Amino acid sequence: MGNKLPKILLHIEGLTLLLSSSFAYFYFEGSIWMYIILLLAPDIGILGYATKNNKIGSYIYNVFHTYSIPTTLGGFTLFFGPQMIFFISLIWIAHIGMDRLFGFGLKYETHFKNTHLQRL
């Protein structure tokens, strides 16, 4: 169990972020249609692999799949910005959480299937 614990914790973390950001989205009365339409939008980052260059592909994919951008946007817009950007950031966080829950992690330059979750 000891070697599997970090991986399990990352899956639980993903579930927690998926549920909490989705709850916040609907608590603040976000549109169900916007949620459904945008939940898979961050996967547009996979198009980076169309360059046939794993380094560029992993960089673009990872930009769309790290919590840094949506949490910064969400935190800022919660207080200062348009509510629409706040809603988008919550959906974005939900997407990343969903990916982590199902074992999809940040990509290494070596291959699309090499992720930080698989190397644990």
Mean pLDDT, residues 55-70: 94
Taking each helix axis from N to C end, the angle separating 83-101 and 5-27, rounded to the nearest 10 degrees, works out to 150
What are the pLDDT digits (tens) for 5-19?
888 898 999 999 999
Evaluate whether residue 49 is within a structural domain. Answer: yes
In the block, tokens 């993903």 appear at 14
Evaluate whether residue 44 is within a structural domain. Answer: yes
What are the pLDDT digits (tens) for 17-52?
999 999 999 999 999 999 999 999 999 998 888 888
Evaluate whether residue 80 is within a structural domain. Answer: yes
- For the chain, what is the mean pLDDT? 91
* Domain limits for position 93: 5-115
- Cβ proximity of 19 and 109 under 8 Å: no
Evaluate whether residue 52 is within a structural domain. Answer: yes
Evaluate whether residue 66 is within a structural domain. Answer: yes
pLDDT at residue 76 in the model: 94
**pLDDT over threshold 90, residue 60:** yes
Confirm whether pTM is higher than 0.85.
yes
pLDDT at residue 3 in the model: 76
**pLDDT over threshold 60, residue 94:** yes
Evaluate whether residue 120 is within a structural domain. Answer: no
Evaluate whether residue 83 is within a structural domain. Answer: yes
Evaluate whether residue 86 is within a structural domain. Answer: yes
- Domain count for the chain: 1
Alpha-carbon dihedral 73, 49, 114, 71, rounded to 10 degrees: 0
Q: H-helix or E-strand containing 92? A: helix 83-101
Mean pLDDT, residues 75-89: 93
Give the dihedral sign, CA 78/83/61/10.
positive
